[in-house]
Amino acid sequence: QKEVEQNSGPLSVPEGAIASLNCTYSDRVSQSFFWYRQYSGKSPELIMSIYSNGDKEDGRFTAQLNKASQYVSLLIRDSQPSDSATYLCAVENYGGSQGNLIFGKGTKLSVKP
Amino acid sequence: NAGVTQTPKFQVLKTGQSMTLQCAQDMNHNSMYWYRQDPGMGLRLIYYSASEGTTDKGEVPNGYNVSRLNKREFSLRLESAAPSQTSVYFCASNRDRYTEAFFGQGTRLTVV
C-alpha cells in the first residue's frame, strides 16, 4: 500500500509568521503533487500543483518538491487567521485500489491573531 | 463554470433505505471519484472511474455501487444504508492522474 504521510497537527503559528507544512510519499515514480486546503465543513480546494524539483511560488504560497527525498512541502508566508484550515497533500498514483490520487490525512493549521 | 456538482447536499436515511448520490462535472474530465470523509480518517476512496465505461473499487467499496452513466456523470448508490455509512461524501474529477482534481461541495449523509 502506497502512503502519503503528513503530521496531523495542529500546527499553531502567530499571525504574520511563516507556516511550514510537510508531506512525504512512498512511491518513487510519482510525478504530480498537489496541495489542497479544506475549511471545516467545506470541500477540499486546490492551492498548488507541482511537478518538478525545486520551488513554485504563487502569492503567499510556495510549494517545494524534492523527488530524491520523496518530500513535498508548502510554505505560507505572512500567515493570516483566514489560512486556518486543514491542508491535504495529494500524490499521483498508478491506479489500483488507491485510485489515481492518494491523499494524506491532512495537517490542521491554526493561525492565531 | 459549475465545475463538479453533487446532489443532494444533505440527507437523512433510515437503516435499510436506499439512495443514490449524483455527481456531474462540466470540465470534460476523464476520471471521476467518490470519497468518504470521517473525522480523523482523512479522505477514503470508495470507487473511481478512470475513464468513461470503466469503474474500479477503491479502499472502502463494501455497501456501495457506482455507475458511470456517461463522461459527465458518476453516481454512487447505497442499496441498504447502515449507520456505519454516516459520513460526508465527496465527488471529484480530473482529466487524468497527472492533473489536479476538483471536488464537489459534498453530501452530508446521516443514517439513523
C-alpha cell at A33: 503533487
> C-alpha cell of A13?
503559528
Q: In this predicted structure, what is the pLDDT of residue A7?
A: 87
Q: For position B1, what pLDDT does the model report? A: 64
Which pLDDT belongs to residue B2? 78
Q: Which positions in chain B have a beta carbon within 8 angstroms of at least one beta carbon in chain A? A: 31, 33, 40-43, 45, 48, 50, 56-59, 90, 92, 94, 96-106
Q: Is the pLDDT of residue A98 over 90?
A: no
Cα separation, A58 vs A49, whole angstroms: 10
Residue among B40, B58, B104 minimizing CB distance to A99: B58
Query: Distances from the Cα of A60 to the Cαs of A48, A79, B68, B110, in angstroms?
Result: 11, 8, 39, 38
Residue ranges of chain B with per-residue pLDDT less than 50:
none
Query: Whole-angstrom Cα distance, residue B31 to residue B71?
Result: 9
- Predicted confidence at residue A76, as pLDDT, reads 98
User: Environment class of residue B15 by beta-carbon count within 10 Å: exposed (0-12), middle (13-18) or buried (19+)?
Assistant: exposed
What confidence score (pLDDT) does residue A1 get? 82
- What is the rounded average pLDDT for all residues in chain A? 93
pLDDT for the residue A79: 98
Instruction: Output helix, strand, coil percentages for chain A, rounded to the nearest 5.
Output: 5, 50, 40
**Given a cut of 80, is residue A97 above it in pLDDT?**
no
Q: A100's torsion region: left (phi>0), alpha (psi -120 to 50) or beta?
A: alpha
Name the band, by pLDDT with cuts 50, 70 and 90, for residue A9. Answer: confident
pLDDT at A55 over 90: yes
Q: Residue A62: pLDDT above 90? A: yes
Q: How is residue B73 annotated by DSSP?
A: B
What the block records as the C-alpha cell of B26 is: 462540466
The string over A30-64, giving b where at least 16 C-beta atoms fall within 10 Å of a residue's C-beta and e elsewhere, is bebbbbbbbeeeebbeebbbbeeeeeeeeeebbbb
Q: Give dist(CA A44, CA B9) in Å, integer.
A: 15
Residues of A in contact with B42 (CB under 8 A): 88, 103-106
- A106: which chain B residues are within 8 Å (Cβ-Cβ)? 42
pLDDT tens sequence across A20-40: 999 999 988 888 999 999 999
